[in-house]
Structure 1
Amino acid sequence: MFLIPTGGLRHLTAILLCLGLAACNEPAAEAPAGPVAFHPDDECHVCGMVISELPGPKGEAVEASGAVKKFCSVQEMFVWWLQPENRNLNVTLYVHDMTRSEWNHPDDRHLIDAKKAYYVVGSDLKGAMGVTLASFADRLAAEGMATARGGQVLRWDEIGLEQLQMMHTGNDGHAGHSGHGTAH
């Protein structure tokens, strides 16, 4: 049996108390904020267009504090994110999973982590900004769309400003908003 002298017990108690108080001052790791539903009056953070009036998957950047930046298309979200001043922000990015959504009315119940998604780049489907990226949680679904509607499947880290620029001006011959697109 090990005995601690009375004075030693007080010192040990004081040390443990100090360690406990020090742990209270440590900042808690903030959990990533979850996705936020789109509302009829939401405007795109980049272009100012009313998001709900436009087809195709949308994107959003949700800060740990709960502040949200919403985008009328996945392409607009990428353009915003790829700007150097935004790359170090503490945000979680979300996009619609088009495996479980209708093209003209993406379902906010199926927003997924943008960095884990598969993207079809260069399909014939139009979104808010003309040719757009289609986002999928499932690789096989993305490949199926690329086979049916054209384009190629890329991952998050394979998409840069160069790909976005070529996609935006290359497929339809002009840049700008197309307004609407249809999926069959």
Structure 2
Amino acid sequence: MNAQRRPSANPLRSSLVRHLLVVCFAATLLAACGKTDGPAALVPVEIDRSTSCTLDGMLLADYPGPKAQIHYADRAEPDFFCDTVEMFAIYFKPEQVRQVRTLFVQDMGKADWAEPRDNWIDAKAAWYVHGSSRHGSMGPTIASFALEGDAQKFATEHGGKVVAFADVTPAMAVLDGGVLHDQGM
């Protein structure tokens, strides 16, 4: 029995479909061959007993409250901060021209306030409590949380206002430790 080719109803359409399939297949192969996830995904670096603050050399492990780290595009190691206020103060400085790749803070909904370890979260996705009665290494601090509910609970217990990263202002990140407002000196 002879197999006869049945003429296509629209030869131009068939050719176009084949061409598009070949182009899509080639594009997929090229994308897969050259695919990279860009720069290596950044992960927080855990602090140890010798990790010191970039600003003042204080040992982070010696002080309570949330810690922070900034990862820059031009450095492999992050800058560490013994307080979130310090991180925000540096991040907001107008003369800060280094490209920030990411920022991490500790989730105080999980970390022990007196000795925070681990529990790093993306600072830009975190919730913050400004103006609470809890202090960090330099006095008043901005407590950081992964969950808005944890931040609300903290604010109910310790005072302060819950804000998202985008709502933290330079005025909230003053590095005077409250000393300028201390009338008891």
Give the TM bin, normalised by the shorter chain. Answer: 0.7 to 0.9
1:1-184 correspondence runs (5 A):
29-63=38-72, 66-86=76-96, 89-108=99-118, 110-165=119-174, 168-169=177-178, 173-174=181-182
Query: Cα distance 1:125–1:90, how it changes in 2: closer, same or farther (>3 A)?
Result: closer
Amino acid at match of 1:79: A
List per-residue Cα deviations over 1:79-118 (Å, max 9, x = no partner). 111123436514211000011111011121x100000000
What secondary structure is seen at the aligned counterpart in 1 of 2:88?
A: helix
What secondary structure is seen at the aligned counterpart in 2 of 1:165?
A: coil
Structure 1 unaligned residues grouped into runs of 5+: 3-15, 175-184
Q: TM-score, normalization: structure 2?
A: 0.73
CA-CA distance at 1:168 after TM superposition: 4.4
Provide the rounded CA distance (Å) in 2 between the counterparts of 1:96 and 1:43: 16
Aligned length: 156
Query: Would you say the 8 A contact 2:68–2:103 is kept in 1?
Result: yes
CA-CA distance at 1:61 after TM superposition: 1.3
What secondary structure is seen at the aligned counterpart in 2 of 1:126?
A: strand
What is the root-mean-square deviation in Å for CA atoms of aligned residues? Answer: 3.0
What secondary structure is seen at the aligned counterpart in 2 of 1:119?
A: strand
What secondary structure is seen at the aligned counterpart in 1 of 2:115?
A: coil
Query: Would you say the 8 A contact 1:34–1:62 is kept in 2?
Result: no
Structure 1 match to 2:17:
none
CA-CA distance at 1:62 after TM superposition: 2.4
Amino acid at match of 1:97: D
CA-CA distance at 1:165 after TM superposition: 2.9
Query: Cα distance 1:87–1:94, how it changes in 2: closer, same or farther (>3 A)?
Result: farther
List per-residue Cα deviations over 1:15-50 (Å, max 9, x = no partner). x8xxx6xx86x9862143100100111110112211
What secondary structure is seen at the aligned counterpart in 1 of 2:134?
A: strand
Provide the rounded CA distance (Å) in 2 between the counterparts of 1:105 and 1:136: 16
Provide the rounded CA distance (Å) in 1 between the counterparts of 2:98 and 2:41: 15
Provide the rounded CA distance (Å) in 2 between the counterparts of 1:136 and 1:87: 27
Q: TM-score, normalization: structure 1?
A: 0.73
Query: Would you say the 8 A contact 2:72–2:98 is kept in 1?
Result: no
Provide the rounded CA distance (Å) in 1 between the counterparts of 2:139 and 2:175: 13
Amino acid at match of 2:92: L
